[in-house]
């Protein structure tokens, strides 16, 4: 049996396993917009923590949707993290007419902290809510999003609820890349298994991580995640690995975000944290890139250079892969046909992963929002 036939058989086997699990799994993940849990007898106070650094272009449109939430007992703590634009001015103007909004202006970053993580820690330190919602400054909320999430968490006894937003895209190429990312995420994290306390699956989302405040503080909160660019994911890991109940929801119809303006911005933005996803391991990152190329990029191209058994196996693998990708778009909220261009999106994502590793190794660290963080310190803050 030739190497091409073996690789083709492996590709088919992989996508067959994905096809058997992913579509059914996606249908088990609940949608926040469709939840109708009974209201608690008394609504617990919720503190929303919003870090913002140089978000002048987005915060003016997004923050009013947060302040329009219909939740009955709410405080919003916006942390202006050393912004060099008009972010602080916009937030102060909004706070002048809104008693639920408090703006804290951070002037300096303590050593050993990523800026966003310190801002989250700073906001949580003075929060008075029984629940904390960590979100971003560019997230748009439906009025009932928080009320539905808290009612669900209270009724089901969850300590951590993550909600993935609808990722709105600008242009088809970016949409294809977003679609590829939206497929890789459930393949790796299997979000339909997160609510099961007997599994080790976990996932967090920077756009919407709702946590019980007492549990968060008992686990060490963002103090444990000082130098983690993937703090949202690792916060979920803290909760799940400590035996606390977690859930994961689809947010289409409840929360949304324009993740990046274009593919170039996406590549630049993910440079800081893609390598962190493998704990800065060259071996795991290289293996991941090869896996992407062999199982998701090569099969459709192999149809032009193979024949016989290998060709038929690659044809079946490609058909399954594209069918899964198109179906996944229904849950990701993107255009269905973008799933047909999955290999292109995966190829770009593989490049981003390679770029993240190369740039981080060459720089011996990452540069995020104008601050450099040494690789040695980043690697030391493992979880």
Look at domain 31-165+205-261 and name its CATH class: alpha beta
- Distance (Å, whole) CA 40 – CA 152: 9
**What is the pLDDT at residue 98?**
93
- Distance (Å, whole) CA 214 – CA 159: 10
Mean pLDDT by 10 residues, the chain (383 residues): 86 96 96 95 97 94 96 97 95 94 95 94 97 97 98 97 88 90 94 96 96 97 94 96 97 90 87 88 95 96 93 96 95 88 96 95 87 88 79
- Encode pLDDT of 369-378 as tens digits: 778 889 898 8
**What is the pLDDT at residue 227?**
93
Name the pTM for this structure.
0.93
Q: With contact defined as beta carbons under 8 Å apart, do 293 and 350 qualify?
A: yes
Q: With contact defined as beta carbons under 8 Å apart, do 335 and 329 qualify?
A: yes
Q: Which of 98, 115, 117, 99 is nearest to 107 (CA)?
A: 115
E-assigned strand segments in 34-193: 46-52, 74-81, 101-106, 131-134, 140-141, 160-164, 166-168
CATH 3.90.550.10 location in the chain: 31-165+205-261
**What is the pLDDT at residue 1?**
59
Cβ partners under 8 Å of residue 169, min gap 6? 175, 178, 258, 259, 334
Identify the sign of the CA torsion 60, 260, 269, 282.
positive
């Amino acid at each position: 049996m030739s190497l091409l036939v073996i690789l083709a058989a492996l590709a088919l086997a992989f996508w067959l396993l994905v096809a058997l699990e992913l579509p059914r799994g996606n249908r088990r993940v609940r949608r926040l917009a469709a939840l109708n849990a009974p209201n608690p007898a008394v609504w617990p106070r919720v503190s929303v923590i919003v870090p913002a650094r140089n978000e002048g272009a987005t915060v003016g449109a997004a923050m009013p949707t947060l302040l329009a939430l219909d939740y009955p007992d709410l405080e919003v703590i916006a942390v202006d993290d050393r912004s060099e634009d008009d972010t602080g001015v916009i937030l102060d103007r909004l706070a002048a007419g809104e008693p639920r909004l408090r703006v804290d202006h951070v002037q300096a970053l303590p050593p050993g902290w990523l800026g966003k993580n310190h801002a989250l820690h700073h906001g949580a330190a003075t929060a008075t809510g029984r629940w904390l919602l960590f979100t971003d400054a560019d997230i748009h909320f439906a009025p009932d999003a928080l009320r539905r999430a808290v009612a669900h968490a209270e009724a089901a006894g969850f300590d951590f609820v993550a909600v993935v937003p609808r990722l709105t895209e600008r242009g088809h190429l970016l949409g294809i890349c977003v679609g590829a990312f939206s497929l890789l995420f459930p393949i790796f994290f299997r979000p339909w298994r997160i609510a099961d306390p007997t599994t080790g699956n976990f996932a967090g989302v920077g756009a919407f991580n709702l946590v019980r405040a007492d549990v968060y503080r008992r686990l060490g909160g963002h103090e444990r995640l000082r130098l983690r660019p993937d703090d949202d994911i690792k916060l979920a890991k803290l909760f799940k690995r400590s035996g606390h109940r977690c859930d994961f929801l689809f947010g289409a119809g409840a929360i949304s975000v324009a993740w990046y303006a274009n593919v170039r911005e996406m590549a630049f933005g993910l440079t800081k944290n893609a390598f962190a996803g493998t704990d800065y391991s060259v071996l795991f990152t290289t293996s991941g890139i090869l896996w992407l190329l062999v199982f998701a990029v090569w099969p459709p191209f192999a149809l032009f250079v193979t024949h016989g058994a290998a060709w038929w196996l690659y044809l079946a693998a490609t058909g399954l892969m594209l069918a899964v990708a198109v179906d996944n778009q229904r849950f990701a909220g993107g255009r269905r046909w973008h799933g047909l261009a999955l290999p292109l999106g995966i190829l770009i994502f593989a490049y981003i992963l390679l770029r993240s590793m190369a740039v981080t190794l060459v720089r011996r660290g990452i540069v995020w929002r104008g601050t450099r963080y040494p690789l040695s310190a980043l690697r030391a803050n493992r979880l």
